[in-house]
Amino acid sequence: MTDLNAVPPALKARVDALRTGKIPSAPPGPGAILPLTWGILALSLVPAIAGAAADLSANTKKDEGCLAAGLIVGGIFFFFFLICLAVDLSTPSPKTRTTPERAVKAYYGALRRKQYGRAYACLSPLDRIPDQRPTLAIGSLEVKERTYSFKDKDDFGRYWRAQAGRSVDFLGGFHKSIQAKIIRVAEIRPGVAAADIKIDMSGYPTWAVFGVFCGLLPVLILILVMTKRETFEVRKLLVKKDGLWWIVNGEFTHEGDEAIERLLITTDV
């Protein structure tokens, strides 16, 4: 049995909330389609509308043909809109976390796309506290151990940019990306589930992008050669509240989740 006297009060309070279901409510989060996608749709409409207006007001044949040009430019933007829309719809949004699996996909999908505000919307209100959270040092990807709080989405974003996002250095550091694959999901008590996840991280030196001055193919080859990859397996907890599943501990590693799960199973907090 776990010695309750050795358990930090904040951790005991979080475990008690998970046991009793006394979890604060929070907004469900944004929908599937990103503001950027809507912006690209608007850009596809503006040239077509402007071209039609110019064509209708043309006084000479020289001024005609604006509609065709506007449709061509708008069509290019509309093509990119369709691509962005397909990407948006292929990832569960924070509003659709009706199962633990969809919650995991929404959370890590937002992190992969570096949409940290959307990932924060998947985080349980129990975890939105000022306690310092350490990043995991990964030497091959030049990730150093730093500490951040999750008191708001800006600090949360700083944590994930340092851990698995864009480098904060201009020429130093790595440009990193993250992929997550669900291995299994199991309910450990009513309203609380655990997900075993395989995380793949990759990154290449920030300066490699300057190879584009030598051409697109050289920079692609340079990035391919310089990219390094690391794989991790973590166990993350999720809790159900208001019909949605929330990530209990938003850190990269699983140590915090293991401590909570151990207390849930072995103690009466």
In the chain, domain spans: 4-32+91-266
Share of the chain above pLDDT 70, in %: 90
Asked if the model's pLDDT at residue 3 lies above 70, the reply is no
pLDDT tens for residues 219-266? 788 888 889 999 999 999 999 999 999 999 999 999 989 989 988 887
The rounded mean pLDDT for the chain is 86
Whether the predicted pLDDT of 269 surpasses 60? no
Angle at 101 between CA 118 and CA 195, to 5 degrees: 100
Strand order across the beta sheet in which 192-205 lies: 174-189, 192-205, 228-241, 244-247
Would you identify the CATH topology of the domain 4-32+91-266?
Nuclear Transport Factor 2; Chain: A, (3.10.450)
pLDDT-based confidence at residue 71 (cuts at 50, 70, 90): confident
- Sequence-distant (6+) residues with CB within 8 A of 122 are 29, 94, 97, 103, 106, 107, 110, 246, 247
Where does residue 160 rank: exposed (0-12), middle (13-18), buried (19+ CB within 10 A)?
A: buried
Residue 259 identity: A
The model carries a pTM of: 0.85
Q: Which residue has the higher pLDDT, 177 or 53?
A: 177
pLDDT at position 1 over 50: no
Total residues belonging to the chain? 269
At 62, the pLDDT band (50, 70, 90 cuts) reads low
Query: Model confidence at 149, in pLDDT bands (50, 70, 90)?
Result: very high
What is the pLDDT averaged over residues 146-157? Answer: 94
